[in-house]
Structure 1
Amino acid sequence: MTDAREHVLTGTRGTISAREWPHPRPRWIALVAHGYGEHIGRYAELAGALGKHGAAVFGPDHTGHGRSAGERVVIEDFEDVVTDLHTVAQRARSTHPDVPVVLIGHSMGGLVAARYAQRHGDRLAALVLSGPVIGTWETPARLLAHDSAHGEVPGIPVSPAALSRDPAVGAAYAADPLVWHGPMKRPTLRAFVRTLEDVARGGDVGRLPLLWLHGDDDRLVPLAGSRPGVERLSGGAATERIFPGARHEVFHETIKAAAFAEVTAFVDRVLGG
């Protein structure tokens, strides 16, 4: 696959760094929304698999993440993140007019993708959610309750071991200077709570095809909490693939090839090819 290109775009709260994995004649565009505390560069292997399937792949570092501007991991309002993602989508469409767009959101990016689909679903061909923060996710409210009682957010960073059964994934995550290794911050926790409520109230995505991927040993975003959110968003019509024993990042798990294949087979069904 062609080497990635970097774009610096004007976001809602400063510059946004976006990455493009080009394709000379793409059949579809994959728009990727990454998770909390990480960056789009961690999705190079997914981009390679999708590129072999005919996709041009685009995705931003969300505000406060990776190479984008902003205080680290601070998101005041996820509506701004959705708007920034739409700016990247517009860049992708200007590069490849009339090519269908499939939005892929992981974890926090799944929350962003869900809200994007509620706002801009008529511009999408399909939606893929991986370990999405949607439905009932208790972590933000629990940490904010501790904050209210004790005056500080507990300093609990993401455990690398919770991401994948592949120890190399955790080691690379722990050593990555663009990954946030500190605690969550109050503004972001509050924004999570608000946006979970907004998505719950925002209605379903109608006839937009939706694929849901999740590991059944996901302890960061438990499967049982995501299920009601996915069912509500899809109107009960989602295609689901639950991976036994897999942890939070199915695109970095020991079953990643199967996860990639689920995405490409789903896209083939949607696009008819």
Structure 2
Amino acid sequence: MAESREHTFTGVRGLNTVREWPHDRPRYVVVLVHGYGEHIGRYEYVADRLVRHGAAVFGLDHMGHGRSAGDRVLIEDFEDVVTDVHTVEERARAEHPGVPVVVIGHSMGGMIAARYAQRYGAGLAALVLSGPVIGDWAVVPALLAFEEPPDIPIDPATLSRDLSVGEAYAADPLVWHGPFKRATLEAFATTLAEIAKGGTFGALPTLWVHGEEDELVPLPGSRGGIEAVRGSDLTERIYRGARHEVFNETNKDEVLDDVIAFIDRALSA
């Protein structure tokens, strides 16, 4: 695996940890945006593939996640997270001036990346959304119907057909295994509405990848959200039989081959 290093910076609401997978002379920079309850350390394999393709890779643990500060999984305003991601992009640009930047977001990170593209997309070379929470995510209204969200843990088997992925997730002490916080659910609802009215991605090359059998973020709900924001350059890849984490699926190399081919096309354009 590619070597990595960590540093911290003071984000909007506290100290954030960033992991870098460096490349001495990158063709492009990738900013990885992780999903709910997890951390950027779960993206070692993705980062390794991208580094070998010529990228310098950066990704932070969001506030309240992984090694970053804050109450666990508490996000009161996702605009703050978008701002933190932008700080990471600015550091990446300072280290690699003039190098094109690609943002890749998974699940909740796909929602954050979509909002990021609405705010900062003019500076990006490409955008990749993996199983994005966008459009109609039934989890939010269902849990907000309770005054105190019930503790319904994620079934690790829904992550991937490779059951070792779920086993590692369940045993990972940096993964949150407790209930949603109500304030976080309210922030999800606010951000999904903001994205829906926030405009399209314009000419930004965008790749949407999704597992056909995704039970955590079902495909039909995301499709409506994608249609609302898609610009003039959208590529779609739906993987038959795949579950939520397509970057950790049994066909993950096919998925990452598609991501790399898309990036090559976007950079050549």
TM-score by length of 1: 0.97
Taking the TM superposition and a 5 Å limit, the aligned residue runs for 1:35-184 are 35-145=35-145, 147=146, 151-184=147-180
> What one-letter code is carried by the residue in structure 1 that aligns with 2:156?
P
Rounded to whole Å, the distance in 1 between the matches of 2:2 and 2:194 is 38
Count of residues in correspondence between the two structures? 269
User: What per-residue deviation string (whole Å, max 9, x for no partner) do you get for residues 23-70 of structure 1?
Assistant: 110000010000000000000000000011000000000000000000
* Pair 1:10-2:15 in alignment: no
- Could you list the runs of 4 or more consecutive aligned residues of structure 1 that deviate by over 2 angstroms after TM superposition? none
User: What per-residue deviation string (whole Å, max 9, x for no partner) do you get for residues 101-120 of structure 1?
Assistant: 00000000000000000000
Q: What is the CA-CA distance between 1:235 and the residue it aligns to?
A: 3.2
Please say if residues 74 and 185 of structure 1, whose CA atoms lie closer than 8 Å, have aligned partners that are also in contact.
yes
Q: SS state of the match for residue 94, structure 2? A: helix
Q: What is the CA-CA distance between 1:237 and the residue it aligns to?
A: 3.9
Rounded to whole Å, the distance in 2 between the matches of 1:236 and 1:2 is 35
Please say if residues 2 and 48 of structure 2, whose CA atoms lie closer than 8 Å, have aligned partners that are also in contact.
no
> What one-letter code is carried by the residue in structure 2 that aligns with 1:65?
H
Within the candidate set 182, 186, 189, 2:185 is matched to 189
Q: What is the CA-CA distance between 1:18 and the residue it aligns to?
A: 0.5
> What one-letter code is carried by the residue in structure 1 that aligns with 2:197?
R
Q: SS state of the match for residue 244, structure 2? A: coil
Rounded to whole Å, the distance in 2 between the matches of 1:230 and 1:17 is 30
Q: SS state of the match for residue 144, structure 2? A: helix
Q: What is the CA-CA distance between 1:158 and the residue it aligns to?
A: 1.3
Rounded to whole Å, the distance in 2 between the matches of 1:267 and 1:208 is 12
> What one-letter code is carried by the residue in structure 2 that aligns with 1:252?
N
Which residue is equivalent to 2:22?
Answer: 22
Q: SS state of the match for residue 99, structure 1? A: coil
Q: CA RMSD in A?
A: 1.0
* Pair 1:267-2:260 in alignment: no
Please say if residues 204 and 232 of structure 2, whose CA atoms lie closer than 8 Å, have aligned partners that are also in contact.
no
> What one-letter code is carried by the residue in structure 1 that aligns with 2:171?
A
> What one-letter code is carried by the residue in structure 1 that aligns with 2:170?
A
Q: What is the CA-CA distance between 1:255 and the residue it aligns to?
A: 0.8
Q: SS state of the match for residue 214, structure 1? A: strand
Q: What is the CA-CA distance between 1:8 and the residue it aligns to?
A: 0.2
User: What per-residue deviation string (whole Å, max 9, x for no partner) do you get for residues 235-270 of structure 1?
Assistant: 364100000000000000001001110110001101
> What one-letter code is carried by the residue in structure 1 that aligns with 2:154?
V
Rounded to whole Å, the distance in 1 between the matches of 2:58 and 2:159 is 23
Rounded to whole Å, the distance in 2 between the matches of 1:152 and 1:41 is 30
Q: SS state of the match for residue 178, structure 2? A: coil
> What one-letter code is carried by the residue in structure 1 that aligns with 2:99?
V
TM-score by length of 2: 0.98
> What one-letter code is carried by the residue in structure 1 that aligns with 2:195?
V
* Pair 1:215-2:229 in alignment: no
> What one-letter code is carried by the residue in structure 2 that aligns with 1:163?
L
Q: What is the CA-CA distance between 1:2 and the residue it aligns to?
A: 4.3
